[in-house]
Structure 1
């Protein structure tokens, strides 16, 4: 009894029930024998796919008899479900001696288990390869800088244990014309945890028309927002606004904002913390930029869309974010654009958010008539001598 208890303590990430079920499955496959052959392994653990034969031979290197035992495999899976320092050797044991072998095998198994396409596999591998500059013996450092990879790896170990495994894919309210599986997966893993389950389409130019006013109506006061677009040159890129937008010449958001590129490659660029100038939405003012942007000012922006909605600005290596050049041209033209809200809609209405952002000493009408005009545009009416109806937006003339 003492020996059994000692063995159980070695499995830190596997429950008693999971261990019992694993052993039962193992023994059923081996006709109640303690050791498993290659052929039995292939049938019992199909999640490993084409690499199953190689994986089996790598595992039996640990066995003097040359056949795999349940407790050996359980110990490896337990390490794969643990922290980075145990996940790394578990991956090396199962999937390869070089980081390229490990990444390629993990990506293939993960993508096939989630029914991703061959193109998805290629793009996910390229993303990991760009992120991973560490040798295989420093893999845990790669895990820290690219948390999506250890998730994909642990997904496989979860499936070997017959846990469902979570792909971390968001549930979209509608199909995106600009983001595929890997795009959604990468972006979702960079969001705050409470924003990862469901994404709601707020605006799509193919559905709502090329209209700045429609975009403003769709995103104003709607909470955190993704803006993603395709330029006429075929580049796909965008940004995440952590607190969304309230129209007016003020910046909103935190260092959770980030930029991203989806084509020709997938990459994300975090905020540097050197500025508080994050998400910006404004129109109809002479002394401030009119349009939607992030991390810039005046005519210097890493990403800015003009009020006329024809195109925008994209400067290289803004100080607000890690070095990047999203559009790969300083002035771009918009082909298609989408806006998505990840997570729930704000509990407070747009009007309440505006009032909360205003000074208690002055009416919001006096302080920010442009913001009040947005309410009027949305169908709200107010009686105030200080408010004068705003001119129509450019695309409403």
Structure 2
């Protein structure tokens, strides 16, 4: 140990080493040797392109990451000591250390101020990594609105007099990460190789009938990434489309029949006639009840024009609502999340022809729609296939539900309505 300390007198490095077990340090040393070999540096250092390729992050964010892990020396040489210190912060650091490092990451220019253009660049870089470069071209496969939805949830602080460029404070950045857990997981996992369990890069596989044109779906890959950020790893593996109003009709009974096939968690999506997109994650199956039910795993979310996740606060237990065939006005028929009876965080009437969304303490959520009363244009429900239960759940969902979609499509054709949905 004395020789080790003599060779390495950097206290920051020695402190970082103590965070790892001997086996972990051995593995990190092997990683360094491998990447240094690819860098053709005679085992002395790692160059930026090799590090960025290994971790799958490029562009401005990749360059900024390399600057930070080399401790801003600008010598383009990442040493073994640099690697241990950076991994110590990312993998073994306290929450404040990790969040501070993340905030420095999004400060792409390193001027101590995070502005809108930097956040846009970070979001695009994240989507290029998560979706692949071909699916993250803004204006083509990736709508500009999708990028702006993530930015619209940020609180900007106006600059001082003479500085008209608004910026994001450290506290506001942390609040943004809370509402966009997918970006928090992505930034916190940048030093985790792609394909090795980095939840920040997890996009569920979206399974639906071959009769459905994907362009008709509300759910997009970037939306799925956003929602999956609030779920456990095993819940972000595969989602199967259970109900789509354009193919199944605006029918509560059909919704209940199709969603019952999943027998597990599901994701409800609504696109209203104002163009707003929002919904909720239902941790429990949709079943007939005369009162609220569910658990603290449920949450509400928005997708457009603003992306955000709203988790339960514990203020009450009014998580899910599912009532049908009741005659009392005190038990409104329909689906809902949060709030109180007739003052829900999100509610769809039993006829699926109208809904409401109010600010509610259950999820600390605002009105999700443009107005408290809204009119649905499209309603979707995706069944969550929980990893580990795939054999039982997926076979039922894929077989029964996808066949049902084919039957619905054929019925629409017979009625002369299919072309209206294509």
Structure 1 Cα separation of the partners of residues 380 and 321 of structure 2: 17
Structure 2 Cα separation of the partners of residues 131 and 323 of structure 1: 20
1:148 paired to 2:186: no
* 1:305 corresponding residue in structure 2: 348
Structure 1 Cα separation of the partners of residues 231 and 68 of structure 2: 36
Match of 1:87 among 89, 98, 106: 98
Contact 1:223–1:341 under 8 Å retained in 2? yes
* 1:170 corresponding residue in structure 2: 204
Structure 2 Cα separation of the partners of residues 276 and 90 of structure 1: 36
Match of 1:209 among 241, 246, 249: 249
1:98 paired to 2:113: yes
Return the offset for 1:90. Answer: 4.3
Return the offset for 1:35. Answer: 5.0
* 2:308 corresponding residue in structure 1: 267
Change (3 A) 1:233 1:296: same
Which one has a bigger Cα radius of gyration? 1
The farther-off stretch of 204-213 and 121-130 is: 121-130
Change (3 A) 1:251 1:269: same
* 2:371 corresponding residue in structure 1: 329
Change (3 A) 1:90 1:164: same
> Where does 1:123-202 land on structure 2 (aligned, <5 Å)?
123=148, 125-126=150-151, 129-130=154-155, 135-136=169-170, 147-159=181-193, 165-166=198-199, 167-174=201-208, 177-202=217-242
Contact 1:258–1:269 under 8 Å retained in 2? yes
1:292 paired to 2:298: no
Structure 1 Cα separation of the partners of residues 344 and 221 of structure 2: 29
* 2:162 corresponding residue in structure 1: none
Contact 2:153–2:176 under 8 Å retained in 1? no
Structure 2 Cα separation of the partners of residues 338 and 249 of structure 1: 24
Aligned length: 343
Structure 2 Cα separation of the partners of residues 179 and 233 of structure 1: 17
- Report the secondary structure of 1:220's partner residue: helix
> Where does 1:25-36 land on structure 2 (aligned, <5 Å)?
25-32=35-42, 34=44
* 2:383 corresponding residue in structure 1: 341
- Report the secondary structure of 2:314's partner residue: coil
The farther-off stretch of 134-143 and 274-283 is: 134-143
- Please list every run of 5 or more consecutive structure 1 residues that lacks an aligned counterpart in the other structure: 350-397
- Report the secondary structure of 1:23's partner residue: helix
Match of 1:111 among 88, 112, 127: 127
* 2:258 corresponding residue in structure 1: 218
- Report the secondary structure of 1:111's partner residue: helix
Change (3 A) 1:89 1:172: same
- Report the secondary structure of 1:200's partner residue: strand
What root-mean-square deviation, in Å, do the aligned CA atoms of Structure 1 and Structure 2 show? 3.8
Structure 1 Cα separation of the partners of residues 323 and 246 of structure 2: 23
- Report the secondary structure of 1:248's partner residue: coil
TM-score by length of 2: 0.68
1:42 paired to 2:49: yes
Structure 1 Cα separation of the partners of residues 351 and 175 of structure 2: 45
Return the offset for 1:309. Answer: 1.9
Change (3 A) 1:110 1:320: closer
Structure 1 Cα separation of the partners of residues 313 and 171 of structure 2: 29
Structure 1 Cα separation of the partners of residues 122 and 299 of structure 2: 27
Contact 2:149–2:304 under 8 Å retained in 1? no
Structure 2 Cα separation of the partners of residues 8 and 124 of structure 1: 43
Change (3 A) 1:25 1:298: closer
Return the offset for 1:218. Answer: 1.5
1:251 paired to 2:292: yes
Structure 2 Cα separation of the partners of residues 24 and 92 of structure 1: 29
Contact 1:291–1:305 under 8 Å retained in 2? yes
Change (3 A) 1:90 1:3: farther
Return the offset for 1:285. Answer: 1.9
* 2:30 corresponding residue in structure 1: 20
Contact 2:152–2:305 under 8 Å retained in 1? no
TM-score by length of 1: 0.71
- Please list every run of 5 or more consecutive structure 2 residues that lacks an aligned counterpart in the other structure: 158-166, 209-213, 394-422
